[in-house]
């Protein structure tokens, strides 16, 4: 957590060394700034502190025009530093890389590095280590003579450790992946929604497929293309309570309520896709970011095109909200399930935000 007293002292001193480490918002003017901002110092009672610009923006604050807290040079320097740590992790994936070791390389405290790394890359250092090992494991599984050799080649100390970490990252156990998903059971059911037909597919670990389409037959064919060696079965009636809960959450979202974040996912991904998809889930409902902003947000500012490809290959609509990514010029851009649906989803979320703001205003006036 940020220390308010230390942050305030940095603002009083206009400490440039703290630029990029935190931001402060001025509620009376509606802007947020760098600690070194040359503007007149605000009253302490009007100041709030934030670890990242997105947090300030979520409170309705806009970037200061004097200190320009989103200046690309500072963002790029921070992204480059975190990108260097990512490469260090990948180069040393065969051994344990600790948070203290990474903090020492960056010249930061472990606690601050933990926050900064997550704000830039989108996941914690530990999560990134796990994801890099899973990616290495996938490569090893394709070339090693057996699963055990692949597990140890990817830097896991034992087979039990990799099986624990495979859920939601590899999308299946190592043996299943090696066999091309043969034997993995995926059940599915259609959902009639206000935005058209959806097909929800799930394993026993979570949602692996959620897509819009014109017919059940075409959606099942798409599900088959995504998981060619899996065993596909229509959901039996009555459906399991957990599956029913997922459907209810999705329907409530499409009726204007906020999407519940605890919906479990079981998706196969590369480490890069995982970074992008995790970051997308951190974008608040109703807000949008450009492909370039997402690329900078995950610590790879030159990867805007790759971000676009990660969005295009998303297999789980809504829950992984690729509809919140737009072009740099403000245009909506493409959407796998049609631009009208993308616009409708954003309008739905913005409408919910507007109703929430209005309700809070009424409560305040009362």
pLDDT digits (tens, 9 = 90+) for 175-191: 554 444 456 788 899 98
229 shares a domain with 297: no
330 shares a domain with 299: yes
Within a domain: 298: yes
Task: Give mean pLDDT, residues 313-334.
Answer: 88
305 shares a domain with 235: no
- State the pLDDT confidence band at 160, using cuts at 50, 70 and 90: very low
Q: 330-348 pLDDT, tens per residue?
A: 788 889 999 999 999 988 8
The residue from 254, 281, 311 where one domain ends is 254
pLDDT at 157: 46
Q: Phi then psi for 32, rounded to 5 degrees?
A: -125, 150
Task: Give mean pLDDT, residues 295-316.
Answer: 87
- 27 class by beta-carbon count within 10 Å (0-12 exposed, 13-18 middle, 19+ buried): middle
User: What CATH number should be reported for the domain holding residue 213?
Assistant: 3.30.160.70
287 shares a domain with 230: no
| Three-state DSSP string of 98-111 | CHHHHHHHHCCCHH
Domain that holds residue 33: 4-63
The residue from 29, 46, 63 where one domain ends is 63
285 shares a domain with 234: no
Looking at the structure of the chain, the number of domains it has is 3
250 shares a domain with 277: no
How far apart (Å, rounded) are the C-alpha atoms in residues 347 and 140?
45
**Both structure tokens of 227:** 């998981």
The residue from 254, 286, 302 where one domain ends is 254
**Percent of the chain scoring above 90 in pLDDT:** 23
Strands 231-234 and 185-193: parallel
User: What CATH number should be reported for the domain holding residue 316?
Assistant: 1.10.10.10
Within a domain: 138: no
Within a domain: 160: no
Within a domain: 115: no
Within a domain: 46: yes
Higher pLDDT, residue 337 or 160: 337
Within a domain: 120: no
User: What CATH number should be reported for the domain holding residue 37?
Assistant: 3.40.10.10
238 shares a domain with 286: no
What count of other Cβ atoms lies within 10 Å of the Cβ of residue 273?
A: 21
**Percent of the chain scoring above 70 in pLDDT:** 78
Choosing from 33, 37, 64, 86, the catalytic residue is 33
pLDDT at 55: 84
Within a domain: 162: no
With contact defined as beta carbons under 8 Å apart, do 327 and 291 qualify?
A: yes
Residue 174 has pLDDT above 50, yes or no: no
Select, from the ranges 93-97, 107-111, 336-340, the one with the highest average predicted confidence (pLDDT).
Answer: 336-340
- State the pLDDT confidence band at 42, using cuts at 50, 70 and 90: very high
322 is catalytic: yes
Residue 267 has pLDDT above 90, yes or no: no
pLDDT at 120: 67
Beta pairing partners, 231? 185
pTM for the whole structure: 0.53
Q: Which helix (H) or strand (E) holds 361?
A: helix 339-365
276 shares a domain with 246: no
86 is catalytic: no
13 shares a domain with 42: yes
Within a domain: 110: no
Return the DSSP state at 47: E
Higher pLDDT, residue 300 or 50: 50
Nearest to 60 by CA among 98, 95, 26, 107: 26
Choosing from 18, 37, 311, 322, the catalytic residue is 322
């Amino acid at each position: 957590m940020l220390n308010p007293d230390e942050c305030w002292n940095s603002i009083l001193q206009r400490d440039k060394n703290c630029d990029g480490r935190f931001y402060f918002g001025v509620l009376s003017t509606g802007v947020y700034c760098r600690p070194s901002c040359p503007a007149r110092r605000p009253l302490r009672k009007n100041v709030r502190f934030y670890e990242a610009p997105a947090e300030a923006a979520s409170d309705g604050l806009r970037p200061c025009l004097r200190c320009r807290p989103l200046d690309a040079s500072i963002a790029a320097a921070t992204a480059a530093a975190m990108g260097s740590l990512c490469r260090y992790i990948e180069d040393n994936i065969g051994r344990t890389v600790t948070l203290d070791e990474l903090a020492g390389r960056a010249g930061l405290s472990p606690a601050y590095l933990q926050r900064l790394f997550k704000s830039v890359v989108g996941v914690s250092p530990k999560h990134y280590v796990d994801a890099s090992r899973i990616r290495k494991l996938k490569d090893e599984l394709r070339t090693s003579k057996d699963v055990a050799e692949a597990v140890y080649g990817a830097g896991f100390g034992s087979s039990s450790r990799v099986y624990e970490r495979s859920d939601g990252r590899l999308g299946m156990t190592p043996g299943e992946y090696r066999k091309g998903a043969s034997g993995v059971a995926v059940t599915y059911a259609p959902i009639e929604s206000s935005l058209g037909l959806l097909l929800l597919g799930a394993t026993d670990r979570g949602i692996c497929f959620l897509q819009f389409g014109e017919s059940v037959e075409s959606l099942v064919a798409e599900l088959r293309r995504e998981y060619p060696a899996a065993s596909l079965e229509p959901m039996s009636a009555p459906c399991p309570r957990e599956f029913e809960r997922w459907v209810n959450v999705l329907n409530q979202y499409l009726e204007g309520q906020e999407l519940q974040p605890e919906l479990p996912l079981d998706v196969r991904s590369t480490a890069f896709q995982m970074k992008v998809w995790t970051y997308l889930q951190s974008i608040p409902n109703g807000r949008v970011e450009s492909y370039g902003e997402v690329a900078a947000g995950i610590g790879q500012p030159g990867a805007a095109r790759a971000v676009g490809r990660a969005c295009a290959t998303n297999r789980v609509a809504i829950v992984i909200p690729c509809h919140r990514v737009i072009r740099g010029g403000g245009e909506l851009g493409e959407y796998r399930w049609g631009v009208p649906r993308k616009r409708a989803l954003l309008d739905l979320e913005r409408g919910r935000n507007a109703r929430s703001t209005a309700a809070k205003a009424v409560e305040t006036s009362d």
